[in-house]
Amino acid sequence: MQEEQVDIKTPEYVSLQFQAAGLGSRAAAFLIDQLLLAIINFAVIIGLVLFMDLQSSYIYFFEESPISSGAIAITVIVLFVINWGYFFAYEFFSGGKTLGKSIIGIRVIQDNGQSITLLSSFIRNLLRIIDMLPFYYIVGMLMIFFHGKHKRLGDLTAGTVVVHERKKKSKRKTGIEKVIASRGLSRNSVTFEEGSLKPLQAKEWKLLKTYTQRFTGVEQNQRLVLTKQVAEIILPKIGMEIERQTEEELENILLVIYLNMKDEWEFEL
């Protein structure tokens, strides 16, 4: 199933966009976590066996050992705490990530875009008991597959969503960033009417992104043709005229529009 875009409005009225993590990436992260837990569980069980073997030298062959029975009970409790507490504690203290999620590049956030809280982490992981029913997380997988934001029951109850992390950007400036800096452009270099950029959506963003990627790689004449073609598509949608603008002005307007859309639309998986 195609992964869905998640639009989030923060309490500060900042628009954030993420890509919801689908069943495939979440399953891959879960398998990595289960592998780690299997190693831990194996170590705990080996410890129990060694402990029982040590105790067996002090009891008769057919005599029941209360110490061994107690050790088994403690081990069962320890294994439960490890297997459930791993997700609960790891997600809370690591900003919504477990080892598997970190490797795959996904994390849990709240529906308002903020980091997961202790309570939301507790709730979403407590409801794993239901999501894992009847076996092998069938309920959870069905929920993730069919829900618009790929949420399982735990996410719905806790108000959380699993999203792809945005990759850290390189500190080195790209070609278009150097051009923008050399022209002294910023998001406020061109004054747009309030709400005029709202008609620009994903299609226009992809067009602008392609335009900026080709901006420094073509000759000036080709860039002029490219600029006019893009401007004829973009500017009428925001109520701006093309005829009254020079070539450089058109370029600057498109670059400023790119800057305004970048924070909202640019996310890398």
pLDDT in tens, 68-84: 567 678 888 888 889 88
The reported pLDDT for the residue numbered 75 is 81
The reported pLDDT for the residue numbered 35 is 96
| CA distances, 5 to each of 19, 172, 267, 269 (Å) | 5, 28, 10, 12
- Rounded to whole angstroms, the Cα distance separating 161 from 54 reads 48
Instruction: Sort strands 106-110 and 160-164 into parallel, antiparallel or unpaired.
Output: antiparallel
Residue spans per domain, the chain: 5-164, 175-265
Q: What percent of the chain has pLDDT over 90?
A: 46
- Rounded to whole angstroms, the Cα distance separating 226 from 166 reads 30
**Average pLDDT in the 10-14 region?**
53
- Rounded to whole angstroms, the Cα distance separating 108 from 97 reads 6
